[in-house]
C-alpha cells in the first residue's frame, strides 16, 4: 500500500503520517527531512542556490542516508547524524529555497521512488501525490489556515522553552507557502484525486480517525 500525504508547512502531516504508519505497520518517509538535509549540506559547504555546478557536484558527494532507529527516521550526511540540525530555522528557509531547484528535486524524487518501490509506505511532502507517487493507492491533502498552523508551531516551541512571536511565525509560514507553491518544478498543490482535509478546527485524533475510515 502506498499513501501520499501532502500539504503546506505546519499542517500536521508528520504527526498524522507517523500515526498511520504505526497503525498500518508500514514505513513512514518524511521527504521534507530529505530536502532539509540537502539544504544543510549546501549551507555547511557555503554553496548558494545560484551555483548550479557546485550544487550538482555536491549532490554527487553528499552521502545522504535515511535510517530508522527505534522507529524514528534519522538523517545522516557523510556518517554524521544531522536529525536535530535540520530542524533549525535557517535550515527551514534554505530547504524551501533549495527545494525549488530541479537537480535537487530529481535527486531526491529518485531516492523517494526507490524507497516506495521496495516498501509499503506513507510519504509526506509537497509533491507526493502529483509527482513522486502519482499512482498512490490513497492521496490526502492536509491543510489548515496559517494562523492556526502558526499557533501549533508556537505551542511546540514554547514547550521546548523558547520565547516565540506567533505573528512572526505566521509570516514565515506564509512566506514558505508562497515559495513552495510558486516554484516552477513540482510546486505544492493538491493532486486532483487527493482527498482534501482542512484541519483548522480538527484535533489530531479527529484527522487520524477521518483518514483511517477512508483507508479501511
Ligand atoms: O515538510 P518540511 O517543512 O520539513 O519541508 C521542508 C521544505 O522542503 C519545504 O519548504 C518544502 C520542501 N519540500 C518539497 O519541496 N517537497 C517535498 N516533497 C517535501 C518538502
Q: What are 114's three cell numbers?
A: 526507490
For ligand 1, atom 2, name the residue with the nearest CA. Answer: 32
**H or E, element range at 71:** none
Pair 88, 147: CB distance under 8 Å: no
DSSP 88: S
* pLDDT given at position 213: 95
SS3 6: strand
CA neighbours closer than 13 Å in the CB half-sphere of residue 60: 5
Strands 64-69 and 72-77: antiparallel
Distance 88 CA to ligand 1 centre (A): 14
**How far, in Å, CA of 42 to CA of 141, rounded?**
29
Distance 34 CA to ligand 1 centre (A): 8
Which atom of ligand 1 has the smallest separation from the CA of 99? 15
DSSP 194: P
If one residue of 7, 32, 133 were mutated to test the ligand 1 pocket, choosing by the most ligand atoms within 8 A of its CB, it would be 32
For ligand 1, atom 4, name the residue with the nearest CA. Answer: 32
Distance 32 CA to ligand 1 centre (A): 4
* pLDDT given at position 197: 98
Q: Global pTM?
A: 0.95
Which atom of ligand 1 has the smallest separation from the CA of 10? 3
Which residues of the chain are under the pLDDT cut of 50?
A: none
* pLDDT given at position 98: 97
Which residues have any ligand 1 atom within 6 Å of their CB?
Answer: 9, 31-32, 35-36, 95-96, 99, 125-128, 176, 180
- 54-64 confidence digits (pLDDT tens): 999 999 999 99
* pLDDT given at position 156: 87
What is the DSSP track for 119-165?
A: S-EEEEESSIIIII-TT-SEEEEEE--HHHHHHHHHHHHHHTT----
SS3 176: helix
Per-residue CA distances from 86 to 58, 95, 208, 212, 214 (Å) = 17, 9, 26, 30, 33
* pLDDT given at position 28: 97
Amino acid at each position: 500500500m502506498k499513501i501520499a500525504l501532502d500539504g503546506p508547512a505546519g499542517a500536521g502531516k508528520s504527526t498524522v503520517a507517523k500515526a498511520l504508519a504505526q497503525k498500518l505497520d508500514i514505513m513512514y518517509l518524511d521527504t521534507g527531512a530529505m530536502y532539509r538535509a540537502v539544504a544543510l549540506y549546501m549551507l555547511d559547504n557555503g554553496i548558494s542556490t545560484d551555483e548550479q555546478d557546485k550544487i550538482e557536484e555536491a549532490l554527487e558527494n553528499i552521502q545522504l542516508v535515511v535510517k530508522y532507529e527505534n522507529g524514528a527516521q534519522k538523517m545522516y550526511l557523510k556518517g554524521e547524524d544531522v536529525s536535530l540540525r535540520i530542524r533549525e530555522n535557517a535550515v527551514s528557509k534554505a530547504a524551501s529555497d533549495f527545494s525549488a531547484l530541479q537537480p535537487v528535486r530529481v535527486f531526491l524524487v529518485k531516492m523517494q521512488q526507490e524507497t516506495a518501490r521496495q516498501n509499503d509506505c506513507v510519504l509526506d511532502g509537497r509533491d507526493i501525490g502529483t509527482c513522486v507517487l502519482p499512482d498512490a493507492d490513497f492521496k490526502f491533502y492536509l491543510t489548515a489556515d496559517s494562523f492556526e498552523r502558526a499557533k501549533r508551531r508556537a505551542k511546540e516551541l514554547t514547550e521546548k522553552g523558547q520565547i516565540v512571536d506567533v505573528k512572526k511565525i505566521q509570516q514565515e509560514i506564509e512566506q514558505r507557502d508562497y515559495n513552495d507553491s510558486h516554484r516552477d518544478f513540482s510546486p505544492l498543490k493538491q493532486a486532483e484525486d487527493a482527498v482534501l482535509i482542512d484541519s483548522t478546527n480538527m484535533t489530531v485524533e479527529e484527522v487520524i480517525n477521518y483518514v483511517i475510515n477512508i483507508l479501511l
